[in-house]
A and B are shown apart, each in its own frame.
Chain A
Amino acid sequence: MTAKARPVRLPGGVSLRIERRALAVGALLVLAAFAMSVLLIGTGDFDIAPWDVVQTLFGNGTPANDFIVNDLRLPRVLVALLVGAALGMAGAVFQSVTRNPLGSPDLLGFSYGSAVGALVVIILLKGSATEVAAGALLGGLLAGAAVYLLAYKRGIHGYRLVLVGIGASAMLVAVIQYLITKAQLVEASRAMVWLTGSLAGRDWAQVWPLLVTCAVLFPLVLGQSRALRMIEMGDDAAYAVGVRVERTRLLLMLAAILLTTAASAAAGPISFVALAAPQLARRLTRSPGANLLTAALMGSVVLLLSDWASQRAFGADQLPVGVVTGLVGGVYLLWLLVTERKAGRI
């Protein structure tokens, strides 16, 4: 598992400023993600001991274990890892670009755009899972482009972007609701599961597109991290040190929208990970700024934990993982609003 995920993370390992605390936090998060993955792979209808899981992952397992681990459970865990990382990094980018801890894709309307795309395919076209993913990708990109263009007025201002996103979200929600009322109950249920975000039944078909997206976009975003830090200090300051602000911002936002929609396409709009992971990362590393790589790792850990909770915490009923992130995220959000207000940041 890590053999596949590690090359993606390597560019950050040679990031420009290596701080000891950030490095320690990063290492801990990698360990935590690995431990959670082994735990997740090992639990289910047929439990496998952690050591056997590790053995099997490195190709030394029994044929039965090999089938369960590599064909059934590993893809789901990989999707969780990648979706979490993509959402974490996208959230960090958005929060830096909008200079607002709440400026995450959850609140900007892109997720709703993906949802509209997916629902059109589910309800109107009755399409397959792959077609649903394509619809989600297209919908998210269109919504992202529309919000960017509507918010553009001699440059993008963070607050305007957030508020335009809120307006666009309201309209997209109306479309979603219209589609749901039009549907038969069976399709409405399928749509609701998609809307909540779920990792159930994910296989290698979802892993590969996500992996490729992350492999292309992570280095690109990380390469802009210094410019992003400058933009955070204000457009004027960034111009002064030679950052081409509008172009960098467009590039970074495009990458973040792509990451978000790719994640939505694979697992549905899983809420609050993009919002929470960057904030948690920032608090753990105690360093200001975007903490892109830590945020991505934190996203993976948060999603894996949520997935474990969704399978375990409610007895026989397996909830979609989006329900867990939604419930935990709601509480977290209230806390964030209170602390941010005390600190005078929003």
Chain B
Amino acid sequence: MLVESPPESGPSAAPPPDAVARPRHAARAAGLAGAFAVLALIAVLSIAVGAKQMPLDEVWHGLFHYSGTTSDVVVRDLRVPRTLLGLMVGLGLGLSGAVMQALTRNPLAEPGILGVNAGAAAAVVSAISFFGASSLSEFVWWAFLGAAVVSVVVYVLGGSRSATPVRLALAGTAASAALVGYINAVQLMDSKALDKLRFWTVGSLASANMDTVRQVAPFLLVGAVLALSLGRPLNAMAMGDDTARALGANLTRTRVGAMLAITLLCGAATAACGPIVFIGLMIPHLVRVFTGPDMRWVLAYSAVLSPVLLLGADVVGRVVTRPAELQVGIVTALIGGPVFIYLVRRKRMAQL
């Protein structure tokens, strides 16, 4: 922090902006490249680590010289889809968290806290129990519906434009509490659904396969492109609605686009592996330390680093309770809870 602060305060004190902005730009780009390297590393780790110990050459063999040995099958049919799904879901959650924080001007906004995950989960639970849905291709649409309804409801209840962070967090938590009550009630009345759902509602990558990956990929891709394209208007909105309008940003279009991106990203991520919380909270906060408030960089970094956290949590979950697994949703909640509390304690209450 001390090392970083002089260049941070430099440009505002002495005004040659171009000269300072360019090296900073380069540093951010280099940082992004570094983040990609970390992502590649964690992806390899995610393929290599698991219940079956596997040296790297076997991993390599499975990836590029598939010949049907047990390790090859483990790599191709279990570890690779799981890693790909983790990449995509992490990306979805991180990006939607960053967009939410910008849209609501709320440092605590997060799909889990604002109840969007719970909305998707409640819709999927209803689909399983009442409408006999059993495949992921059905889950996805229900999850979108739930995510969309809840994000709109919470945004409106939280007070939309006049929303304070506390009000939004309360609206989201209240909605989650109600929805979780509903989910519990459904599970209770339908013990077959309970058996199916108790693993899904935790949030886990364990049942990943190539079909899942293929089915949710298009939605996450569209959502991600949409989210990344919102960087500039979200930057303008950060200065307040009036300034944003003066700068030529279309507020309604930005808001609708942001809601659509959140719904696509969260809905698809939740449908694929159940509600996972706090990724969207932690990563954008961490990222802002390197990037500053520019949303274009925040989004780019979040897109790369969120999968790092999710895959990392998944790998940790596979290792700590061997041979059993700790589901990734549990690991992220246990890491994210303290971070959330730290953020709450650090902020002055006037800012919340």
Partner-B contacts on A (CB < 8 A):
100, 102, 106-107, 150-151, 153, 157, 159-160, 162-164, 166-171, 173-175, 177-178, 180-181, 185, 188-189, 192-193, 195-196, 271-272, 317, 319-320, 322-323, 326-327, 329-330, 333-334, 337-338, 341, 346
Contacts and interface: CB of A to CB of B under 8 A. Distances in A.
Given A327-B181, A341-B159, A167 B340 contact: yes
Contact of A192 (B175, B182, B194): B194
Given A170-B278, A196-B184, A177 B194 contact: no
Contact of B327 (A100, A181, A189, A333): A181
Contacts of A317: 189
Please indicate which of the listed interface residues B108, B166, B180 has the most CB atoms of chain A within 10 Å of its own CB.
B166
A170 B333 contact: yes
Given A189-B191, A329-B181, A346-B167, A170 B340 contact: yes
Contacts of A327: 181-182, 185
B345 A160 contact: yes
Contacts of A174: 329-330, 333-334, 337
B166 A333 contact: no
B181 A330 contact: yes
Nearest to B163: A341
Given A181-B198, A327-B185, A341-B159, A171 B171 contact: no
Chain B interface residue number, banded: 35 or more
Contacts of A153: 345
Given A189-B194, A196-B185, A346 B170 contact: yes
Given A171-B333, A185-B194, A338-B157, 7 more contacts: A163-B344, A170-B336, A175-B334, A188-B198, A196-B181, A326-B184, A337-B170
Contacts, number: 147
Contact of A157 (B173, B340, B349): B349
Interface in B251-266: none
Contact of A168 (B157, B169, B337): B337
Nearest to A172: B337
Contacts of A177: 198, 201-202, 327, 329-330
A270 B30 CA distance: 53
Contacts of B191: 185, 189
Interface string B169-195: 111011101111110110111010011
Contact of B182 (A166, A195, A319, A326): A326
A339 to B, nearest CB: 11
Contacts of B311: none
B271 interface: no
B352 interface: yes
B261 to A, nearest CB: 24
A204 to B, nearest CB: 27
B277 interface: yes
Given A174-B329, A327-B182, A338-B157, A159 B177 contact: no
Contacts of B108: 163
A326 B178 contact: yes
A164 B345 contact: yes
Please indicate which of the listed interface residues A150, A317, A330 has the most CB atoms of chain B within 10 Å of its own CB.
A330
Contacts of B184: 192, 195-196, 323, 326
B199 interface: yes
Nearest to A146: B341
Nearest to B339: A167
B32 interface: no
Contacts of A106: 177
Contacts of A319: 185, 188-189
Contacts of B198: 177, 180-181, 188
Q: Which 8 A-B pairs have the closest CB atoms?
A: A330-B178, A326-B181, A171-B337, A174-B333, A167-B340, A167-B341, A323-B185, A163-B344
Contacts of B167: 341, 346
A167 B194 contact: no
B113 interface: yes
A137 to B, nearest CB: 22
A193 B189 CA distance: 10
B326 interface: yes
B248 to A, nearest CB: 31
A107 B338 CA distance: 17
Contacts of B195: 185, 188
B349 A102 contact: no
Contact of A178 (B171, B189, B330, B349): B330
7 contacts: A150-B341, A160-B349, A163-B352, A164-B345, A174-B334, A175-B334, A333-B175
